[in-house]
């Protein structure tokens, strides 16, 4: 069946108040009522107007309709999973019966005019709120101990005058120890509100690690770039390195080259079997920005028979 844009049919915005919806309905009813209208297809237009008004003027039906998300007029539509198809329209729209309305309306609220809502405890139309999805950016260090991070979300609701307003909502999110990048943290009941007393949807936060040139993560393993001096690499040294889980002391073997990896077992992402931390050595050259420094480099050039571009072979 085709999706119907009730806001377009009534000629109102999605933030229109109940009074604005009623005013537009009365204007269109005067234009299309079959008893007085000379417009072509007046009866068809009047049915569309009645249907749109029956949904948008009712707060619960309007909220349910808005929960369908973004669709285009004429687009093929199927009710989403969890939709309560047991609802039956109970009147409205200047005496129009639900039998006069479209298949789209029937798929949302049922048919057979004059019925009452069937569903949760027979108390009226009820539909669970939609799930919401967002991202939360954390530091890699947060993964090692777990933490709590505040996030701000924008949530829409109808105020007491029937206007749609947007509020900023702050949530304190618990980041579990060992969470992986791309993993979803579920916050039950923090999604879109339900209709007719039904439960709200859930909020799913996709975890993203904050970009840091020092680290890269592969599954549970962490790779950290560690700069060392030429003499530390050549002679060997004991150095202190700041890692995501704190400072550690490591020993650099003599004759180390750039790209050498030092494995620290179990210091990767925490898990039942934790990953490893690999320290990747990168030799950092001191600048020749003083006369003394230039003299050191000149001495090395004269006295060290070293050519890094020389290849070995048979």
105 Cβ neighbours under 8 A, 6+ residues apart: 4, 51, 54, 55, 89, 98
Q: Domain coordinates of the chain in residue numbers?
A: 6-122, 132-209, 215-288
Q: For residue 136, what are the β-bridge partners?
A: 207
Q: Supply the pLDDT for residue 226.
A: 95
Q: For residue 191, what are the β-bridge partners?
A: none
Contact 45, 39 (CB under 8 A): yes
Q: Round to whole Å and give the CA distance between 233 and 238.
A: 10
The one-digit pLDDT tens for each residue of the chain (314 residues) are 677 788 899 999 988 888 889 899 888 888 887 777 777 788 888 888 888 888 888 777 787 777 765 555 555 555 554 444 334 333 443 344 444 677 777 766 654 333 333 333 333 455 677 788 888 999 999 999 898 988 888 776 666 765 666 778 888 999 999 999 989 999 998 887 776 667 878 889 999 999 889 999 998 999 999 999 999 999 999 999 999 989 999 999 999 999 999 999 999 999 989 999 999 999 999 999 999 999 999 999 888 888 888 765 54
Q: Supply the pLDDT for residue 87.
A: 40
CATH number of 132-209: 2.60.260.20
The verdict on domain 6-122 having CATH code 1.10.287.110 is yes
Q: What is 215-288's CATH topology?
A: HSP40/DNAj peptide-binding domain (2.60.260)
Contact 5, 75 (CB under 8 A): no
Contact 240, 249 (CB under 8 A): yes
Q: Tokens at residue 225, please?
A: 């770039």
Q: Tokens at residue 68, please?
A: 């369908």
- Among 243, 249, 197, smallest CA distance to 224 is for 243
- Among 64, 109, 57, 58, smallest CA distance to 88 is for 109
Percentages of the chain per state (helix, strand, coil), in multiples of 5? 25, 25, 50
User: How many H helices and E strands in the chain?
Assistant: 8, 11
Burial tier of 112 (Cβ tally within 10 Å: 0-12, 13-18, 19+): exposed
Helix axis angle for 42-56 and 59-66, nearest 10°, is 100
Contact 290, 235 (CB under 8 A): no
Q: What is the CA radius of gyration of the chain?
A: 33
Q: Tell me if domain 132-209 and domain 215-288 are identical in fold.
A: yes
Q: For residue 171, what are the β-bridge partners?
A: 151
Q: Give Cα separations from 126 to 92, 107, 285 (angstroms).
A: 19, 14, 69
SS3 19: helix
- Among 101, 1, 2, 121, smallest CA distance to 61 is for 101
Q: Supply the pLDDT for residue 143.
A: 92
Q: Supply the pLDDT for residue 260.
A: 94
Q: Round to whole Å and give the CA distance between 65 and 4.
A: 10
Q: Give Cα separations from 102 to 14, 63, 75, 207 (angstroms).
A: 21, 19, 14, 43
Q: Supply the pLDDT for residue 121.
A: 35
Q: For residue 151, what are the β-bridge partners?
A: 171
Q: Supply the pLDDT for residue 258.
A: 92
Q: Give Cα separations from 311 to 122, 300, 307, 314 (angstroms).
A: 84, 21, 9, 10
Q: Supply the pLDDT for residue 43.
A: 84
**Helix or strand (DSSP H, E) at 239:** strand 237-243
Distance of CA 36 to the CA centre of its chain: 51
């Amino acid at each position: 069946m085709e999706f119907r844009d009730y806001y377009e049919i009534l000629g109102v915005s999605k933030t229109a108040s109940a009074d604005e919806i009623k005013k537009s309905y009365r204007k269109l009813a005067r234009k299309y009522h079959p008893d007085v209208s000379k417009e072509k297809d007046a009866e068809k237009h009047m049915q569309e107007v009645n249907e749109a008004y029956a949904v948008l003027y009712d707060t619960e039906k309007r909220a349910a309709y808005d929960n369908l998300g973004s669709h285009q007029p004429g687009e093929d539509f199927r009710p989403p999973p969890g939709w309560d198809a047991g609802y039956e329209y109970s009147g409205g729209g200047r005496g129009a019966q639900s039998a006069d309305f479209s298949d789209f309306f029937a798929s949302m609220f049922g048919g057979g005019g004059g019925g009452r809502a069937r569903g949760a405890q027979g108390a009226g139309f009820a539909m669970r709120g939609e799930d919401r999805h967002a991202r939360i950016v954390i530091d890699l260090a947060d993964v090692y101990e777990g933490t709590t991070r505040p996030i701000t979300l924008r949530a829409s609701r109808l105020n007491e005058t029937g206007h749609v307003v947007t509020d900023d909502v702050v949530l304190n999110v618990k980041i579990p120890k060992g969470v992986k990048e791309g993993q979803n943290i579920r916050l039950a009941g923090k999604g879109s509100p339900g209709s007719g007393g039904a439960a709200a949807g859930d909020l799913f936060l996709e975890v993203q690690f904050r970009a840091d040139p020092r680290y890269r993560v592969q599954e549970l393993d962490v790779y950290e770039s560690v700069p060392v001096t030429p003499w530390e690499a050549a002679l060997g040294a004991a150095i202190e390195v700041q890692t995501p889980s704190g400072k550690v002391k490591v020993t650099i073997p003599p004759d180390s080259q750039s790209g050498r990896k030092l494995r620290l077992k179990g210091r990767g992402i925490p898990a039942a079997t934790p990953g490893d931390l690999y320290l990747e050595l990168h030799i950092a050259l001191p600048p020749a920005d003083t006369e003394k420094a230039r003299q050191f480099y000149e001495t090395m050039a004269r006295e060290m028979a070293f050519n890094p571009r020389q290849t070995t072979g048979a």
